[in-house]
Structure 1
């Protein structure tokens, strides 16, 4: 048991000092510990614990005795040292303890002594009271400074992360350059070895008949090259004449009257038929030509809700026969293969068809020698443009063949 040299004042007799004693001499962790010991079931905020312990210390002798014993044991060394002083010397000892950072222990040691004059107690209490105010102001200032430092720290962390990512990229680029340089060095060594071998071979050929043979071959190759250049010039001239001839044929075809409709004004034919020059056109005299002449058009994929509009464009506007496959292969590829076989043209919107569907359509069309048109978009405008291009291309080929036959 600790024995002190001075007589101590009980905590029950210091009700006016309970608030500063508890607030100065006990930490928040110790407040929680005492609350658990005496089964405190209220709110665990620091203020609620503080007020509960003050109230309990006044009303419960058991709590008061426990606090007295706990604080005496906690600040035993400070109390024993201050018990050596009294009067003005005690004030000097108090100032020294404050400078050493032992404010709580010295405060408890002076308040609990019965022989300390009221003037010294009042002075010590006043200093502790002002310390609490000054400490609160310093805490607020430090909190502001801490908030500013925290923001600066976050900015520094972000810059550090950016710098690290940049360094990682630079390190990766450096490693890639190192590998590339190493590969180039290997290729350079191989090139040097090949160059050395070729130099040796050239030296061996300089004094042999093989060099004369090579020179003769070089001369022959130069002559052949010159002949090929002459032939290329002639072929280019023939190509230019053929292109001019083809352009003239196009102008003649565009300006000639429709052989079916018998309309002589250019561009006034109600419908252009790709089979207008053929004798087996399925339409009668004067009948509007739908341009696709009942050809089977297979659409793979596309939007389900646009199916009626797809059908209206292909059958109503262009006179074809509309088929559609939704691009689903859960029942196998046999259904799609049978539809591709009877189709004249296959159209597949890439954006609304699966990758497997596009690959399957391309393979089937290539195997069965069917025209395949890939649309970038599933819209009606893209479908109309593709059909128009297809009809114009087919019509132009038919007109050119007819012109050649007439000549």
Structure 2
């Protein structure tokens, strides 16, 4: 004979307004201890789906973990009015976020696309047995710049907690602010330089018009002075000079003196205007040079950022693909002089993935200067960042490369983007210069 007990009531839970995690509610009756009631039945250890997450974090997941090209292809299949090129990126993003919260076919396809794109990262994060290991993997991915795959793997991991998700959400949110602020600062500086250039051109035109007026007045004064001189000479040639002529000559001399005084004043003003014009022209040239340098630097940074973004979109780099953003190096040895230690470690991994070898010398901070001479015979190429290398190390590297006939390439900064952009440009130049196959 078995005794039947009434089924135990399921613990009451609340859903967090951002991350969708359930939190137990404390029982107010005297029969329960002072603490949350936890179910004794273990939940299935499976990853969360996109539709199961709260709608407030869908925007960050869709915008960070999927590219615009992938979203256009996927949304265009289910929303025909957005399949053309007239649809903006913002419309595509908003439509994808709205459809992902419904749990329909679009949400499933987005979930499938995210799992397929970041399969290797998901597999790597799956080995994390607890929250601390998962946090360590996230911090490593954040330091290496591999944010998209790690963010999706962390948000859907069964061991991910509310605090860890909150930290990851905040860090991704602040990254978007930092990128936007940097671009806005560059745009404002270029706009200010353009406005200054227009103002200087207008001031230059006004000064030029004033100089033309002064020159015309000077020419008229010279003509008038010549006429007075001829008239005076004619009066002198006459044998008799009546009193009226003497008075008239005195008046003419006074008028001539007055004109000469005005001419001297205009000449002084013209000289002062010329000096101001030269100063304004020098300032204009300096601002123009600064503007061109800033524009070139901004264009270089955009090209480097585009190279990295293209590499991520093509799945050619990062921990989620096992490939490198660099073109195949075919065993080539590259000597990197200067830079930062953390960046050098990532470059070594990328060069090794591309089939090459990277030798690193810090420019004499800790490594000996004599070690650079022993590294050079092994290298087919020398690269150094001009913003993170001593003058002595740069001079030694250039001279050694010139003596040995080794290609030497300075790059703009010690960032990964500058190194990737250089390698891709060298590969493109090699393809252009290669003779066509018969």
Range of TM-score over shorter length: 0.3 to 0.5
- Structure with higher Rg: it is 1
